[in-house]
Structures are given as C-alpha cells and as structure tokens.
Structure 1
Amino acid sequence: MLYSLQEKNPHLGIDCNNVGTNDMKEQNVFETLIGKQQQIFLATQVVKMILKIDDVITPSAF
C-alpha cells in the first residue's frame, strides 16, 4: 500500500472500484507487504522473460 507523507495515511491505495475513497481500510481491502513484494517480483520476472524471447526471435524469422 502507498504511504502519503502529506496525509500521514499508510492505508492509501488505488480506488479501482470507484467507491470514492482511496483509504483501503475503509474499503476493507487488506494486503500484506510481502504480497505486494511478490507481485512486483513476479511482474519483473515476466518482463525479463519477454525481453529474452524478444532477443531470441530475430526479425528474419518471420
């Protein structure tokens, strides 16, 4: 979750459901830091794999 220094609210997040508040505690959304870290790690791995595939496939292969 995001931490806003100006608002001093560690429960800020993105309002994907258009509820009208960015406070995840009010929306009953609870996500652990380790869960967020895993998501970022896995997303990074996917990007690396795509870039490796892109290097293997040459334009002349099409």
Structure 2
Amino acid sequence: MREEYDFENMKGGVRGKYAKAFEGTVTTILLDADVAEVFPDARAVNEALRTLSRILRSGQINA
C-alpha cells in the first residue's frame, strides 16, 4: 500500500457502490477479549446464540 493516495486523479470510483447490499443485513458487534478466545469467528458466535435461543424458547431455562 502507498502511504498516500491522490483521489482527485482517480477515475471511475463510485462512492457507496455496495452500501445498499449491506443495508440492514450486517451488524457489527465487538466481543470482549475473553469471549473472543472461546468464539473465534462469526460462525461460532452465531451457532452458540442459536443454541441458546432454542433453549430459551423451549422453556428449559429462564433468561
């Protein structure tokens, strides 16, 4: 990567070209370090939350 870019001379770029595709579909959540050690990626976090959600909905435990 360059230290600086001169965007005045760059042609063809479209600001926000893909923004609509992600609008409302992606939420960024920051995990505390101790949680991130247990859940290394989005798939692991989502799987754990879906499991917890099923347990809560089944009435096996109370929130």
State the TM-score, normalizing by the size of structure 1: 0.37
Higher strand residue share: 1
Structure whose residues are more often helix by fraction = 2
User: What TM-score do the two structures reach when normalised by structure 2?
Assistant: 0.36
Higher relative contact order (CA 8 A, sep 6+): 1
Rg larger in 1 or in 2?
2
